[in-house]
């Protein structure tokens, strides 16, 4: 059974897609069915020639649906929708370059092998070249492909921990850029499959952030704390302190991490180092 998910689109994107779905006979009541349209594209039920019916506005809306799939980590859907998006020429509106850059590494032929191994929960070994050109070997015993800042990464649990700079509880977790994995090195191995290690963090959102906060799938709980102004407390499970800290630092003083101590210490060290740079 497939995993249900929602595609969140604003009216500017939803309306032209509803119009296109209606014109193709994909309806829900008296309106076009956007979900049915995207499903038909993803399943290859719409021939490439039919994409010529897309207006520039509809193509733009489809592009945003591609981006939504990318942000969810629904890579197979993102690839199929991107094929539809790119099936006919159009003036560059900024979306084409963003989508191409976001999924470029996924178009490499060997990536389908990665999808298969992860789907089968089959551990494998691989070689990886870091930014400095050094080659590492990893025994990957748990993994998922995730988007981080417009690039695709293999977030994985590995036997190896040497050189890992995360907090001790996350030393088995690595985040490997997909385009730096050596193609020929992916080999199945006999190991047990693992989930990524995780730590629970607690953070407080204040002022406008408290009201504007959008729940994440990694959130464990969300509760309001009586204070002036009201504060929202979020408990979340994280697998990488690096990406978590990069996410919350731009919020400044309106987002404060209160637990666990090792994450708080790491944030404090980064802030102090930044302040010293301005002294």
pLDDT, greater one: 234 or 46: 234
- pLDDT tens digits, residue range 133-175? 889 999 999 999 988 887 889 999 999 999 999 999 999 999 9
Q: Which of 5-9, 33-37, 57-61, 265-269 comes out lowest in average pLDDT?
A: 5-9
User: What does the alpha-carbon distance between residue 104 and residue 80 come to, in Å, rounded to a whole number?
Assistant: 13
Distances (CA, A) of 127 to 134, 175, 225: 10, 13, 47
Quick one: average pLDDT of 193-220? 95
- pTM assigned to the model: 0.76
pLDDT bin (cut points 50, 70, 90) of residue 121 is very high
pLDDT, greater one: 181 or 22: 181
Q: How are beta strands 173-177 and 124-129 bridged, if at all?
A: unpaired
Residues in the chain: 279
Is the per-residue pLDDT at 72 higher than 80?
no
> Quick one: which of 159, 157, 256 has its CA closest to 207?
256
Give me 109's structure tokens: 């032929």
pLDDT, greater one: 13 or 221: 221
Q: Beta-carbon neighbour count of residue 80 at 10 Å?
A: 18
pLDDT at residue 1 in the model: 42
- pLDDT tens digits, residue range 74-111? 887 888 888 878 876 666 667 788 888 778 878 887 88
pLDDT at residue 11 in the model: 64
pLDDT at residue 23 in the model: 74
pLDDT bin (cut points 50, 70, 90) of residue 12 is low
Look-up of token digits 């309001």: 224
Look-up of token digits 């399943």: 43
Quick one: average pLDDT of 23-47? 74
> Quick one: which of 63, 91, 56 has its CA closest to 78?
63
How high does pLDDT run on average in the chain?
Answer: 86
DSSP letter at 129 equals: E
Phi, psi of 264 (to 5 degrees): -60, -45
H-type helices in 86-147, by residue range?
Answer: 95-103, 111-119
User: What does the alpha-carbon distance between residue 98 and residue 105 come to, in Å, rounded to a whole number?
Assistant: 13
pLDDT at residue 48 in the model: 47
pLDDT at residue 47 in the model: 58
Is the per-residue pLDDT at 9 higher than 70?
no
Phi, psi of 3 (to 5 degrees): -90, 125
Q: Where are the domains of the chain?
A: 11-106, 111-188, 199-277
Phi, psi of 123 (to 5 degrees): -60, 155
pLDDT at residue 91 in the model: 63
Quick one: average pLDDT of 182-208? 93
């Amino acid at each position: 059974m497939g995993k249900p998910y929602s595609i969140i689109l604003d009216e500017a994107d939803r309306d032209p897609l509803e119009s296109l779905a209606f014109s193709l006979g994909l309806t829900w009541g008296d309106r076009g069915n956007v979900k049915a349209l995207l499903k038909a594209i993803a399943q290859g039920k719409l021939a490439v020639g039919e994409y010529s019916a897309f207006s520039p506005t509809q193509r733009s809306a489809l592009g945003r649906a591609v981006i939504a799939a990318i942000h969810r980590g629904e890579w197979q859907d993102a690839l199929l929708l991107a094929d539809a998006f790119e099936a006919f020429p159009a003036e560059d509106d900024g979306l084409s370059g963003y989508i191409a850059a976001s999924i470029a590494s996924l178009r490499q032929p060997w990536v389908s092998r990665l999808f298969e191994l992860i789907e089968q929960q089959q551990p494998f070994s691989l070689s990886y070249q870091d930014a400095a050109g050094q080659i590492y070997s990893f025994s990957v015993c748990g993994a998922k492909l995730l988007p981080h800042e417009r690039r695709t990464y293999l977030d994985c649990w590995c036997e190896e921990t040497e050189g890992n700079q995360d907090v001790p509880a996350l030393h088995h977790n690595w985040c490997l850029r997909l385009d730096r994995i050596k193609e020929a090195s992916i080999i199945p191995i006999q190991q047990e499959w693992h989930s990524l290690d995780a730590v629970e963090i607690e953070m407080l959102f204040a002022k406008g952030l408290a009201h504007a906060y959008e729940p994440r799938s990694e959130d464990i709980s969300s509760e309001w704390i009586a204070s002036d102004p009201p504060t929202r407390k979020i408990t979340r499970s994280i697998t990488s302190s690096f990406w978590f800290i990069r996410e919350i630092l731009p919020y400044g003083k309106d987002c404060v991490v209160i637990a666990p101590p090792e994450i708080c210490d790491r944030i404090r060290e980064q802030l102090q180092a930044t302040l010293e740079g301005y002294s």
